[in-house]
A and B are shown apart, each in its own frame.
Chain A
Amino acid sequence: MIKLIEKIEGEAKLHFSFKNKKIDFVDIEFLQTRSIEKILEEKNAFDALVINPRVCGICGHAHLIATVEALEDCYEDLEVSNKAKIMRELTLNFELIQNHFKWFYFTVLPLFGYKQAVLKAALPSQIMAKAIAVIGGQYPHNSYAVVGGVVSEITHMDIIKLEQYINETQNFFDENLIHLENEDILKCESIDSLFNKKGDLSQILGDIRKNKWEQLGKSYDRFIAFGENSYFTKGKSLKTRRFTDISIEDVVEFSTQSSYAKNVTFKDKYFEVGPLSRAIINKNGLIKDSHSKFEDSIVSRIVARVLEIPQLLNHTKNLINQINLDEPSYIKPKIDISKITSSGYSAVEAARGTLIHKVNLENGIIKKYDIITPTQWNLSNGTRENQGISQKAMIGLKDEKIAEIVFKSFDVCSVCTTH
């Protein structure tokens, strides 16, 4: 039977086949493509900074950062100030945070029978959007990161504003998602304790326990992340065995007949990307505990995603303290883009996982551009013999309603996947 999944930044079709009253295979079909990689061909390199955020309306900023870093990778000798790097990381973090709020309050609540909490999704997202706008001019869709740094200058007063926005968002999280009395969520290392707290997350965890879904949605327990910055580490993890020596050369993207989305493998295997992946690779205490009891089930996946909110808010405060306002925002590249014939790539941790951009330039003109999005990793449409991450997670379940819960625990972005 075919189920149309909607409100995942677009739609997708899940073709279920059943055997002995259980799901025996799921074919994941994405229904459109906008051919952005083709649109970019023969364009001036810097035009990609304007086009690529339009890959996606909710994570377009990650595409901007990935684009500028891929272009900068084409230069041999390029200087970007620490101040510009921090500004880019700040705005990227703000985007991740609003993604997670929206996913929880728009997507997760209805899976458990609750109405969407539209205003709870919108309010913290608006604050984070303001924070991005203070630095980058507007949100969504800005191109404030350019080769050599960023276009904007920020001042002490701007930073004061940002700190207030961060605090406001943190308060919102504390009052709504995980309500702790005199406890710091960042120091919590017991997953069981989360089940008994107040707050919307604990409500959902309680429902998972009530329905006996704690072990639901397990896949290969294989994780990977390529984006490295001051918070996230690059690496792969097979269960909890971590390896940091991984190369993008071993990432392969390939088309299948059945869908407009392409599949992605690392050394011919499917890997999960996203907050759970990042937390395992970073060896986060609370997620390690969740993993020890629930492995890569929806519990670990949901908690890891929600937990990134206070983690990133806290990290952002640290980053802000490190900004040296005296540094330049932009350092003009020594070589003009029209003289660059080279290739470059970048990997950035977007809300849903690793985002990879690859570009080939000839005299400053784009000859080839490849984008690999996180949803492509998680929702690769494998075969019965070699199942993709989310396929494996759904196979063996008893009906398509439960399958949808597992499917959406990956936070699907249909537009990204069908760029």
Chain B
Amino acid sequence: MQQKVKVLWITGLACNGNTHSFLNYPNLGQFLDNFEFIYHPIIESKYSLEEIVSNTIPCDVLLIEGSISAEIEKADKKLIDIISNYAKVVNKIITVGTCSTFGGIFRDSEYEDITGLHFNETLEVERFRKIKDKTISISGCPIHPELLINTLYSIKNKIELKLDEYLRPKEYFAYTIHNGCTRNEYFEYKVDNHQFGKKEGCMFYDHGCQAPFTHGSCNKILWNEVNSKTRAGQPCMGCTEPDFPKSNLFKTKKNMGIPANLPLGVAKRTYLTLAGVTKAFTINRLEKDIFDD
């Protein structure tokens, strides 16, 4: 019987959304046969929080959820000290969620210098620079459970993952949320008549959808195995990105009618030329309801 991989899950300033998203993983039983939590925010573990922070219990992977500040304590010990201690003994560190990766929503809470582990939005954080080469970032608000769990399996199987500039596995984060959205045709042909509450239409033009320039796999690996925000009709809010949350979220920022944020890697001239061409034509099928009477 193989030894289980020992994992420590520690939480800073968080809402626990990542913890609960993790619990939605369909093959949780199998995961728990292969991994053992020496501490977890909900699942029972051999050690209490007080024991975890007062000692350095042997473990293989450190998971950090929530934003980080020098002022935050867990069981009366500074979080940054707990992280420093365990960083020395683990093989890998994973920042679970946008808060621990980039600072996230709670970056604006009222503690001193709140950031992610290595990043504060796009800026690098000095404090933990030495452990950057051990870290993998799984951003998202919350994370998709499959991304975290499969990354843990890849660590167990000693697979070297290709990471992007924010240490996110390219296998999940090289895609954009736009890949796989069921509303793609409306985007392709620039049919910009979207109304909320309809299956039809693309939310990029008016309703603030950030999918074409947000990294992730939401429309490739569906949420809860059944759906995604954009498929359901809610604009993507860019929750995997360093600057989440932006503001005025349900509206597309436009400059003289042109979207301020363009699809990833697409030059302005390219976009405008394509937009100019497609806007000249009307495709009747895309102007009507899908379930046409």
Chains A and B directly touch (beta carbon < 8 Å): yes
User: Interface on A for B, CB 8 Å cutoff?
Assistant: 4, 6-7, 9-11, 31-36, 38-39, 43-44, 46-47, 49-51, 54-58, 60, 84, 102, 106, 110, 115-116, 118-119, 121-122, 125-126, 129-130, 132-144, 146, 148-153, 155, 161, 328-332, 415
User: Interface on B for A, CB 8 Å cutoff?
Assistant: 11, 13-21, 23-24, 26, 28-29, 32, 41-44, 48-50, 72-75, 105-106, 108-110, 141-142, 195-199, 218, 223-234, 237, 239, 245, 247-250, 291
How many cross-chain pairs have Cβ atoms below 8 Å apart between A and B? 188
Q: Give complex CA distance A150, B245 in Å.
A: 21
Whether A54 contacts B141 in the complex (CB less than 8 A), given A32-B72, A46-B250, A137-B227, comes out as yes
Whether A57 contacts B229 in the complex (CB less than 8 A), given A44-B248, A46-B250, comes out as no
Q: Give complex CA distance A50, B15 in Å.
A: 13
The interface residues of chain B lying within 8 Å CB-to-CB of A129 are 24, 224
Whether A110 contacts B245 in the complex (CB less than 8 A), given A138-B223, A142-B234, comes out as no
Interface class of chain B by DSSP: loop
Q: Give complex CA distance A203, B248 in Å.
A: 51
Q: Are B198 and A153 in touch, CB under 8 angstroms?
A: yes
Q: Are A140 and B250 in touch, CB under 8 angstroms?
A: no
Q: Are B196 and A415 in touch, CB under 8 angstroms?
A: no
Q: Give complex CA distance A115, B72 in Å.
A: 31
Selected from A6, A50, A135, A161, the residue in CB contact (under 8 A) with B232 is A135
Residue of A with least CB distance to B225: A130
Whether A125 contacts B24 in the complex (CB less than 8 A), given A140-B142, A142-B229, comes out as yes
Question: How far is the CB of A144 from the nearest CB of chain B, in Å?
Answer: 5
Q: Are A118 and B18 in touch, CB under 8 angstroms?
A: no
The interface residues of chain B lying within 8 Å CB-to-CB of A142 are 229, 232, 234
Question: How far is the CB of A138 from the nearest CB of chain B, in Å?
Answer: 3
Q: Are A138 and B29 in touch, CB under 8 angstroms?
A: no
The interface residues of chain B lying within 8 Å CB-to-CB of A332 are 195-196
The interface residues of chain B lying within 8 Å CB-to-CB of A6 are 48-49
Q: Are A133 and B226 in touch, CB under 8 angstroms?
A: yes
Selected from B15, B75, B195, the residue in CB contact (under 8 A) with A330 is B195
Residue of A with least CB distance to B40: A7
Q: Are A137 and B197 in touch, CB under 8 angstroms?
A: no
Whether A130 contacts B224 in the complex (CB less than 8 A), given A4-B50, A415-B14, comes out as yes
Whether A51 contacts B245 in the complex (CB less than 8 A), given A39-B109, A142-B229, comes out as yes
Q: Are A151 and B232 in touch, CB under 8 angstroms?
A: yes
List 3 tightest A-B contacts by C-beta distance, closest first. Answer: A330-B197, A137-B232, A329-B197
The interface residues of chain A lying within 8 Å CB-to-CB of B247 are 43-44, 47
Selected from A9, A51, A60, A330, the residue in CB contact (under 8 A) with B196 is A330
Selected from A122, A331, A415, the residue in CB contact (under 8 A) with B15 is A415
The interface residues of chain B lying within 8 Å CB-to-CB of A118 are 28, 32, 43
Q: Give complex CA distance A44, B49 in Å.
A: 39
Q: Are B16 and A9 in touch, CB under 8 angstroms?
A: yes
**Centre residue among A118, A132, A330 by max chain B CB count within 10 A:** A118
Q: Give complex CA distance A51, B249 in Å.
A: 10
Question: How far is the CB of B226 from the nearest CB of chain A, in Å?
Answer: 5
The interface residues of chain B lying within 8 Å CB-to-CB of A50 are 237, 245, 249
Question: How far is the CB of A359 from the nearest CB of chain B, in Å?
Answer: 16
Q: Are A133 and B227 in touch, CB under 8 angstroms?
A: yes
Selected from A32, A57, A151, the residue in CB contact (under 8 A) with B142 is A57
The interface residues of chain B lying within 8 Å CB-to-CB of A122 are 23-24, 28
Q: Are B197 and A140 in touch, CB under 8 angstroms?
A: no
